């Protein structure tokens, strides 16, 4: 499916019928609904397919927000490992070489970020303390030392 999405993103045309077809295939494969927003050099494209909720008839809102939480770790790790396989990223190279704007310690490698063993500041707990009730009930807050760094730091670097 990832290859289909990538191919659809690369397909010509502002309307992006290939992308619409792919999100409909995702729903046909068993997902309740899909919302997708793409912002790239060709502009912005928004689409949705399926239902906003199980058993409902309303489409997922194109301007909706969905908290996917820790699922981003899997996507991020997959993308980083694809870059490793392509020779664009090295697992044992300092992460600071790829993300100089974050001021990371040179001893922290890409592998350490992916394994959550870098010893970076627990950003998740700090946000929870600052935001208060917003994070109550979220079991992951404070449990993984650099969970948030893998969410935030790697996503911008993957596309570049």
Task: Please identify every residue annotated as catalytic.
Answer: 70
The total of other beta-carbon atoms located within 10 Å of residue 134's CB is 11
Angle CA(60)–CA(82)–CA(88) in degrees, nearest 5?
A: 125
Residue reference for tokens 């912002």: 39
Tally the residues of the chain: 160
Q: Are 113 and 99 within 8 A, CB to CB?
A: no
Using DSSP's 3-state secondary structure scheme, residue 33 falls into: strand
């Amino acid at each position: 499916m990832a290859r289909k999405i990538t191919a659809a993103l690369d397909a010509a045309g502002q309307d992006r019928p290939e992308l619409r077809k792919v999100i409909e295939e995702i729903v046909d494969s068993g997902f309740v609904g899909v919302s997708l927003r793409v912002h790239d050099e060709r502009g912005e494209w928004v689409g949705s397919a399926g239902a906003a909720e199980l058993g409902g008839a309303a489409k997922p809102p194109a301007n909706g927000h969905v908290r996917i939480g820790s699922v981003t770790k899997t996507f991020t790790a997959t993308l980083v490992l694809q870059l490793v396989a392509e020779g664009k990223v090295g697992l044992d190279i300092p992460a600071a070489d790829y993300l100089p704007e974050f001021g990371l310690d040179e001893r922290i490698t890409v592998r350490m970020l992916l394994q959550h063993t870098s010893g970076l500041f627990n950003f998740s707990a700090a946000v929870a303390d600052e935001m208060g009730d917003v994070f109550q009930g979220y079991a992951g807050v404070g449990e993984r030392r650099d969970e948030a760094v893998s969410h935030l730091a790697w996503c911008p670097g993957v596309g570049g």
